[in-house]
Amino acid sequence: MTLVMDNFTVDITAWQGHLKDRCLLTEAMCLVFADNHYATHYFAKKGLSNNVRGHIELLSPARLTFFWHEADEAVALPFKLDAVGAADWAKRWLVEAEYGPRPDHDGSNSKGWRVFNQPMQMTYVICSIEPAWAMHGK
């Protein structure tokens, strides 16, 4: 099966939750890697925040991007990564990523992630991963 098409898009925001025998991040990565079987380059950006009068405002989210070919600003990987390897790297990266302030709502929050492959003005992108708060309402 091939997913090659100009408008194949994925945008998933989730968290691991209470699942013990499945990894949703790995499953999401397998979906976006379906046509580009290996990442050869990556780009990592730290989140930029600003403290305004005691309030922290996230100006730019942290982002990890995988590429299937050499691209501007991308760094060559020492070896090719498949979807499972890229998901493992992303999980480890998310542990230290900047999440920004917790959302203020009537409920609780957990650290989650967003995987997406929408156009980002960069060529050869397989997908990007950003830290995202999972919001649990009451």
**What confidence tens digit (pLDDT) does each residue in 84-120 have?**
999 999 999 999 998 888 888 888 999 999 999 876 6
pTM for this one? 0.86
User: Using 50, 70 and 90 to split pLDDT, how confident is the model at 63?
Assistant: very high
Q: Give per-residue pLDDT as tens, 18-39.
A: 778 899 999 999 999 988 789 9
58's CB contacts (< 8 A; 6+ apart) are 47, 48, 49, 98, 100, 101
The span from the CA of 137 to the CA of 108, in Å, is 7
Phi-psi region of 127 (alpha: psi -120 to 50; beta: other; left: phi over 0): beta
Strand partners, 127: 66
Helix axes 24-32, 83-96, angle to 10 degrees: 130
Query: Count of alpha carbons within 13 Å of 7, Cβ hemisphere only?
Result: 0
Domain ranges of the chain: 11-130
Structure tokens at 73: 């600003």
